Amino acid sequence: MHVKLLMKKKGKTFITKQTIKDMSIISTIKPSASFMKKQMNVAIVFTCIGAVGIFIGIGYLLILGIILMVMNSSQKKKDIIKVYENNLEIKFAPLASTRFIKYDELIELERASEKKIVIHYAKDDKRKKLRIPVQMIEPKELEEFLELVDSKIKPAA
């Protein structure tokens, strides 16, 4: 069954859910355990402060702590980066939108520092940036991912 990779609607291109099901995943990256542990610790602190704070009027921190725990537990199971044959699927946060970046849209990989990495790409004739949350990915997986992105960037003519 052949499905078009890109569909057009109102002049913009997008990838359909059926296309995603038909693509084969080469590799995936999950959030690092240390990052998830830090997030859970923050959620527990907010929950404890909120539980005590009910009596002094800051009980909303209890709700915030519970929301953070639910988001953390749902994000543990999800892949934040999926590498396909022709594109990348990136979703760093549970409420963030999913970004699909085709390899031929990649322009540049900027390594500003150890903690700041930016992928530049062109989408619908507009240059866009995607900041990679370095602390969220294990160092070994990050290096493999950056090598892959570096290899897919075509040199400027």
- CATH number for the domain harbouring residue 140: 2.30.29
pLDDT at 17: 59
At 3, is the pLDDT very low, low, confident or very high (cuts 50, 70, 90)? very low
Can you give the residue range of the structural domain that contains 100?
A: 84-157
- Beta strands across the sheet bearing 117-123: 106-111, 117-123, 126-132
Domain membership of residue 21 (yes or no) is no
The C-alpha torsion from 68 through 71 and 73 to 74, rounded to 10°, is 180
- Domain count of the chain? 2
Residues 98 and 148 in one domain: yes
CA distance 154 to 41: 42
How many CB atoms lie under 10 A from the CB of residue 139? 10
What digits encode the pLDDT tens for the residues 101-150? 999 899 999 988 888 899 999 988 899 999 998 999 999 999 999 999 88
Residues 89 and 155 in one domain: yes
pTM for the full predicted model: 0.75
Residues 155 and 108 in one domain: yes
pLDDT at 4: 42
What digits encode the pLDDT tens for the residues 4-57? 444 455 555 556 655 665 678 888 999 999 999 999 999 999 999 899 888 888
At 157, is the pLDDT very low, low, confident or very high (cuts 50, 70, 90)? low
| 19, 4 contact by CB (below 8 A) | yes
Domain membership of residue 22 (yes or no) is no
